[in-house]
Each structure stands twice: as C-alpha cells, then as structure tokens.
Structure 1
Amino acid sequence: MDNLINLKVMSYNIRHGKGLDGKVSLRRIAEVITKTQSDVVALQGVDRFMPRSGFRDQLKKLAKQLGMHACFSPSINLIMIQYGNAILSHYPIISKDIQYIGGSKERRSVLIVKLQINECVVTIVNTHLGAHMSERIKQNSVLWSVLEKLEQPTILAGDFNMEMHDSFMKRLSSRWKKITPQNNLPTMENGTEIDHIFVNMSIEQATAKVIPYDASDHYPVIAEIRW
C-alpha cells in the first residue's frame, strides 16, 4: 500500500485569463488553482507577452505565485509573443517534449512531460485541438500516433474541442480510461463538455469533478487519481 500514488490533476483552458465579464485577470486563475489544491495543472490558452493580456508572461507569473515548476509549448510563436499550452507541477519536471500537430490558424501541439513523483516517473500529456473538424481530422491522426508510443503510467489532459460522442473520442476511450466527472456538468459556459482527462494504466481509485468559475469561458476539470 505504501507504493500507491495519489495525484490531483487539473485540465483548464484559461482563455488568457479572460473571464465571463470580459476582463483579463490572472489573479482569478491563480485563485482557482489554489482553491482546488491541484498537484499538476494542464493549462491551455496561455499568453506570453501578448498585447491583449498586458504583455505579461502569464506562465512565469503563475508559476512564481503558486510556487510550481512550469514548462510551455507555443502554438503561436512570434519572436517574444507566444500563446499555447503549459504544465504547472508541484513535482519536479525531469523532461519535456513537444509534438506539433498542425492547424489552420495556429500550430497546435502536444506537450509531454515526465514528472518525478517519489520513486515513480509519471508522464503528463497536455493538448489543445483545433476548433474546426477539418483540422482536427488531421491532428487526431498525429495525436493518436503520439499516444500509441507512450508507456504507463501516463495521464492525458486537454481541450479536445470534442464531446465524447465524437468518433475519435470513442476510439480514444477504447484504449484510455476517461476519469468522468461525477457531478456531470459541462466544461464550458455554453453547455458543452470538451475538456477531458484520461489515463492509460490500471488505477486503484479515481474521481473527477467540474467546478464552475467565471475566470474563463471554460471550467476546470479536476481528477483525483490513485494507483
């Protein structure tokens, strides 16, 4: 029993901190993460030095405020100006890999990191797929090839821009176990569920929930996983 690992993982598209009131506030995002006491946070929609978010390095600011390790994969990379996915972790990040999967308006990516959790190495995968089906069809094939190469234990999180009835999500759930939120809430304020957390290993226990906050147009999904 001493070898069991307990991990609280969040997936959250922060929309560069733009809340439902139209105002950009990174403080609200930090408060959400703090309140949930998540160990690992997979963020999508993170700005670095973008005009719309006050030219701030949002990841650096969050990491410093929360006291977490951090890494980033840019979907938009214009010298200093960046936008993309990030992972925050209370555990040391021992490696990072980025697989670019293309896209029509922005170059989407899969961010893969390995964490050292006590004696165990755990892989965390974070992605944000395209908003249009035509680009997701191409991205899905690349994502699938990435996922097929991953060893256990791996946790996959992200904004898939797809609900579970989509054919790719059905295929994914045949190989990966979704940690389904018990409170059965949508992950966006518009009523859709497009943010998901999956695992590829046998688990002792897992629960998840969606918590509605107004800090973004997405709601964070938090999974507590024990294996």
Structure 2
Amino acid sequence: MNSVDTILNMRVMTYNIRHGKGMDGQTNLRRLVEEIAKANADVVTLQGVDRFLPQSGFKDQLKKLAKQLRMYSCFSPSVNLLIVQYGNAILSRYPIISKEIKYIGGSIERRSALTARLQIGEESVTVLNTHLGVHTKERMKQIPILWDALNKLERPAIIAGDFNMEMDDPLMKQLKSRWQKIALQKKHSTEDNGGEIDHIFVNMLIEQASAWVQPSDVSDHYPVIAELRWRLDKSLYTTT
C-alpha cells in the first residue's frame, strides 16, 4: 500500500501508576493489569514503575505487566541503584524497533524521558514518555532538556506523560506552540488532587481524535486515553 493512502488508528493511554499503590494504600499488580486491560490501548505510557523495590514486593513490575497483557515493552530507569530501579515504561502491541533514554535531571529524584520507535506494518511511529518534577524549580531546569529532545524526534510522533503541570502553566507555552494536545472530551482531573497534569500530544495532522479519563482508584492518578486517527503521508513530515 502506498504510504499516502495509509490510515492509522491508534488508542494511546498514559498512566502514572504509583507502583500500583491504590487509594486504599495497598499495592496490587493484578488490579493494575485489569485497569490497563480495560482501556484496550495499543500503546501505554506508564510512570512510577518499580523493579525490585521493597515497596512493591521486590517484583519486576514491567516484566509482569508485559507478560500478562501480552505486549512489547521498554523501560527507562530514572532511579537506578544496582538492580533496584524506578522510572518510566512503554507497553506496545506493536514491535519496538528502537529506544532511547534521555535523563533530564531533578533535585529530589532524577527524571527521564523514554523514546521508542514502533513498527506498524511498513510504517513507524515515535512515542516519548516522560515524568517531570513536582516543583517548579525542577521543571524549569528539565523543560529545556526535554524540549531539545522533542525537537529531534522523528515524525509522526506522540508524547505523553505526567507533566506535573496544567496547560495554562507558562512552562507549557513552547510545547503548545508546536504540538497538538488531545483535549479531554469533558473537563476532568487526571489525579486525585484535582488537577489535569497528565497529557497526550501529537505532531501529525489528525483526522479524528478524542480523549477521556478512565475513573479509577488503582493509583492516585487516573488513566488518560486518546483515540487517534490520521493519514500517513510521508511528504507531510519531510523537513528541508
């Protein structure tokens, strides 16, 4: 099929799982699997993923999630102490043909951005997953590093994650000028504290798009899900 005629439909989910610690204070990987499966997403970007930490029973959470959901996976260890790791992950129904980790600093804990290229038939799509710092001073240092990484992404691309900022934050201005946020169908918080800080953006020409929040008590954040449909015409993404 000619790439000009290629129509791609994709369901994307972003979710800060807080290592599966629910609002009841219990960490339960089984109900986390059920929560992710409920969304029926093709690509899932996760933040707050543990590997071999005591707080989550010394489990490799990503390995178990990928196996039970039957998805490909990759990981960026924002915190890395020997085998003990904590960071971001991408789950995908499509093969992951490459990944890149970009460390973006942080005063309380190191943060990272995980980029993966997914093979979808004869085409590929780039996905970047990140989790920015809690405090403004941290984000002011992280944002220029992240923006530099975004400017180097192969198109078409999707970025998603926990930005710890709402869209009216001045630090989001540059992102809004170059990327299209997939807006929620209905105004809704994406975390228990009431803010909309988990976002999904694209840099391709979207034919149809919608996004919504999946109510949940499996974490202190709610899953954000976007349904995307776009026509893949390589000439639209060629830079000179």
Is the shorter-chain TM-score for this pair beyond 0.5, marking a shared fold? yes
Instruction: Select the residue among 15, 27, 30 that pairs with 1:24.
Output: 27
- Contiguous gaps of at least 5 residues in structure 2: 231-240
Report how far residue 135 of structure 1 moved.
0.8
Report how far residue 64 of structure 1 moved.
0.4
Looking at structure 1, the residues matched to 153 and 91 of structure 2 have their Cα atoms a distance apart, in angstroms, of: 20
Report how far residue 171 of structure 1 moved.
2.0
- Contiguous gaps of at least 5 residues in structure 1: none
Report how far residue 34 of structure 1 moved.
0.8
When normalised by structure 2's length, the TM-score is 0.93
Q: Is 1:172 the equivalent of 2:175?
A: yes
Looking at structure 2, the residues matched to 119 and 209 of structure 1 have their Cα atoms a distance apart, in angstroms, of: 29
Instruction: Select the residue among 105, 109, 113 that pairs with 2:108.
Output: 105
Q: Which aligned pairs between 1:57-72 and structure 2 lie closer than 5 A?
A: 57-72=60-75
Looking at structure 1, the residues matched to 208 and 59 of structure 2 have their Cα atoms a distance apart, in angstroms, of: 39
RMSD: 0.9
Aligned length: 227
Q: Is 1:132 the equivalent of 2:125?
A: no
- Residue deviations 1:135-160 (CA, integer Å, cap 9, x gap): 10000000011111113100000000
Residue of structure 2 in register with 1:40 after alignment: 43
Identity between Structure 1 and Structure 2 (%) = 66
4+ runs deviating over 4 angstroms? none
Structure showing greater Rg: 2
When normalised by structure 1's length, the TM-score is 0.98
Farther-moved stretch of structure 1 (44-53 vs 104-113): 104-113
Residue of structure 1 in register with 2:191 after alignment: 188
Report how far residue 2 of structure 1 moved.
5.4
Residue of structure 1 in register with 2:125 after alignment: 122
Report how far residue 221 of structure 1 moved.
0.4
Report how far residue 3 of structure 1 moved.
1.1
Corresponding residue SS for 1:64: helix
One-letter code aligned to 1:213: S
Looking at structure 2, the residues matched to 57 and 148 of structure 1 have their Cα atoms a distance apart, in angstroms, of: 32
Report how far residue 131 of structure 1 moved.
0.5
